[in-house]
Amino acid sequence: MNWRLIKDKLIQRSFATLLALSLIVIVLILLGLSFKSLPLLRAESFGAILTESVWSPLNGSFGFLPFIMGTIWVTFISLIISVPLCILASAYLVEYAGEALRRMVLPLVNVLAAIPPVLYGVWGVLFVVPFLSQYVAPIVGAETTGYTVFAGGIVLAVMIFPIMVSIMVEVLQTIPYELKAASLSLGATKWETIVKVILVKAKPGLIAAIVLGISRAFGETIAVLMVCGNIPQIPKSFFDAGYPLPALIANNFGEMMSIPLYDSALMFAALLLFVLIFGFNLISRLILNRLEGKS
């Protein structure tokens, strides 16, 4: 056979092997995490682990509810802040702004994505936390150190701006011009067109962007850990400290391995994160791929 063809085949084989290896890693992660969390699941039922609220590894009680609620609180707060801002800003960039402004703003938003989480954490500690405890808390009459789920939510909101804005802008750009033209020619103002036509049409894509934002917020570890207070309790208000799941793993791994089931519990937390985020990402990517195929 021709040497060139042999080379081609060899390269095909080796590249395929690389691909297979990197995909096997996913399976290994899933298997490894499940295997390691088995001891905990044998000791307690799945439902009990998720709904119990007492976290006391020394006494053998592993209730994940405070951490799950902590994660939900910070994610929820970050969404309240970022979703309206991102939708409005993306609509502006696509419908009002000129090409020049878009070319200036989008790269800046991408810079925001390049900033490492720990710097967001530093910013949170330097600005958000003191700001909350000194200015915001007195207004509503709350007493707090500032290390709260609210601070975590604000920091997370800024962190998920870039992924939401860039995807929302892409989605809004796929809306056909004819739809807008039809609405505008019927006498609707630009804003009415945006609310009643464009956003309605773009809904699946926007939801996909938000879900990607949620999964980003779910997994964020260090920035949230630095500002959240890390007290294993179920937060009752914006000004309570919380303890999200990733922070639990980061803070406790490698220590106290001698306590039975402790590392199993932490691996279970990692498994929970992996499965949830994998699912969220999969759903939103499928939606986005379908939209891309249509346009």
Partner 1 sequence: MSNIKKRLLKEKIAKVAMQLSGITITGSLFFIIGTILYKGLPYLSWEMISQSPQGGFYIGKEGGILNAILGSLYLATCSTMLATLIGIPISIFLNIYVKSGTFLERSCKLLFDVLFGIPSIVYGAIAFSIMVWVGIRASLLGGIITITLLTIPIVVRTIDELLKTIPVDLKHVTFSLGATRWELAKIFLKYIKPGIFTAILLAFGRAIGDVAGVLLTTGFSDNLPKYIDEPAATLPLAIFFQLSSPIPEVQGRAYASALVLTFIILIIVICTHLLASKQQKHKI
Q: Which of residues 237-266 bind partner 1 (CB under 8 A)?
A: 246, 249-250, 253-254, 257, 263, 266
Q: Which stretch binds partner 1 (CB under 8 A): 51-59, 70-78, 200-208, 269-277?
A: 269-277
The reply on whether position 58 binds partner 1 by CB under 8 A is no
| Residue ranges of E strands in 107-262 | none
Three-state DSSP string of 215-227: HHHHHCCHHHHHH
Q: What is the rounded CA–CA span in Å between residue 214 and residue 208?
A: 10
Report 97-156 residues binding partner 1 (CB under 8 A). Answer: 97, 105, 107-112, 114-123, 125-127
Structure tokens at 90: 């993306």
In terms of CB distance, is 43 or 250 closer to partner 1?
Answer: 250
State the residue for tokens 């691909």: 19
> Closest approach of Cβ 35 to partner 1, in Å?
10
Tell me the C-alpha distance between 137 and 140, whole Å.
5
In the bound state with partner 1, the residue whose beta carbon lies nearer, of 69 and 270, is 270
Integer-rounded Cα Rg, in Å, for the chain is: 23
Are 243 and 44 in contact by the 8 Å Cβ rule? The answer is no
Which CB, 142 or 184, lies closer to partner 1?
A: 184
Nearer to partner 1, 5 or 47 (CB): 5
Which is nearest to 224 in space by CA: 120, 135, 138, 145? 120
Q: Does 85 bind partner 1 (CB under 8 A)?
A: yes
Site residues (CB under 8 A) for partner 1, limited to 152-181: 158, 161, 165
CA 240 to CA 142: how far, in whole Å?
A: 10
Q: Which of 40, 68, 77, 89 binds partner 1 (CB under 8 A)?
A: 89
Tokens at residue 75, please?
């994610």
- Tell which positions 31-50 bind partner 1, by CB under 8 A: 32-33, 36
Nearer of residues 115 and 142 to partner 1, judged by Cβ: 115
295 near partner 1, rule: CB under 8 A: no
